Amino acid sequence: MKKKIYLAAPLFNEQERIYNKSIKNLLTSRYEVYLPQEDGLLLKNLLDQGVALSIAERKIFSADIAAMENCDILLAILDGAHIDEGVAFEIGYMYALDKKCIGIQTDIRRQLPSGNNPMISMSLDKIFDNAEDVVHWLEGLA
């Protein structure tokens, strides 16, 4: 049975979505990967369908919570001047569930002069600077 990975990532522009998809593609041969932009619900789509904002937000929240609870590992994309708020929540939630949490951060910018916010860095088992190292590390869990 394949391990399940929740890919927590910002998804608000085309570049982010393309990168997220490339990471998912690296992993799908060996893992079942849940990528919210593809496997979950998107606020814009729900609103375009006429769903009320409060209902749309609840549906997205519930779907992503269920997906996280069903996954074994969280892989968080940490790129950007600041870590995406949704990603930060997903890291904390999966950490609280005592699940493996790792990150990938190719961006050299950090929130603090000393690095990432300690609440993020201490919640992650490891932070990688490239996708290939993530794949090798995951292979060691098998």
User: 33 pairs with which residues across the strands?
Assistant: 5
Q: Is the pTM of this model over 0.85?
A: yes
pLDDT recorded at residue 42: 95
Q: Among 6, 2, 5, 4, which residue's Cα sits nearest to residue 89? A: 6
Name the strand (E) or helix (H) holding 50: none
pLDDT recorded at residue 114: 72
pLDDT recorded at residue 15: 95
Q: What is the pLDDT of residues 62-92, one digit of tens each?
A: 999 999 999 999 999 999 888 999 999 999 9
Q: What is the pLDDT of residues 94-119, one digit of tens each?
A: 999 999 999 999 988 767 667 788 99
Q: Is the dihedral of CA 27, 119, 78, 115 positive or negative?
A: negative
What mean pLDDT comes out for the span 112-130? 89
pLDDT recorded at residue 112: 64
Share of the chain above pLDDT 90, in %: 87
Share of the chain above pLDDT 70, in %: 96
- For the domain covering 4-139, report its CATH number: 3.40.50.450
Q: Which residues contact 11 (CB under 8 A, 6 or more apart)?
A: 17, 20, 36, 37, 42
What mean pLDDT comes out for the span 117-133? 95
